[in-house]
Structures are given as C-alpha cells and as structure tokens.
Amino acid sequence: DQRQLVSFDWPGFGDSDRPAIAYDAALLCSALRAVLSFLRTTNPGRITVVAAGHSASVALGLAAEWSGLWQKLVVVAPTWRG
C-alpha cells in the first residue's frame, strides 16, 4: 500500500514569507481551502488529513464543508487562541 504525503507551510510560518497582514482564522481557513482544492484536482481518491495545533482547529472548522474529500481527519492537540 503506497501513499503520497503532502505538507505545506502556513502563510507567514516555516519557510514562507511573512507579509504584514492579519494572521487570523479567516486567513488560515483560506490557505487550507486552497490546499484542499489543489488536492481535490490532483488526487482521485479520498485523503487522510493530519492536523496539529492551530491547524487542527482550522481543519475541524472546515470538516463538514470538505467531508466528501476526506476519508479521515486526525487532529493532534487542537488549540486556538482568540
């Protein structure tokens, strides 16, 4: 059984540039929607999403909207401040 792993940097984190914008839930949801849209067009099957920390809360917030794409959603230490 082979699987493909896709990982990305949230805007302003990791190796991404950090422009002077609001890093709020709306921005993170928009970024995750863009990644999920890409995966929907490039991956013929359903996917497993693993999200940790702040990303877990963002993924949980989008779970119903993207339920047809996800086979599983694994959340690790979901947190959100604000």
Q: What digits encode the pLDDT tens for the residues 33-55? A: 999 899 889 887 888 899 988 88
8 domain residue, yes or no: no
3 domain residue, yes or no: no
45 domain residue, yes or no: yes
Which of 31, 30, 11, 9 has its CA nearest to residue 20?
11
Look at residue 31 in the predicted model and tell me its pLDDT.
Answer: 92
For range 57-81, the mean pLDDT: 84
29 domain residue, yes or no: yes
20 domain residue, yes or no: no
71 domain residue, yes or no: yes
- Domains contained in the chain, number: 1
Q: What is the domain extent for residue 37?
A: 25-76
Type of residue found at 74: V
Residue partners of 50: CB distance under 8 A and separation at least 6? 74, 76
Residue 80 has pLDDT above 70, yes or no: no
Distances, alpha carbon 7 to alpha carbons 4, 20, 22, 39, 82, in Å: 10, 24, 23, 11, 25
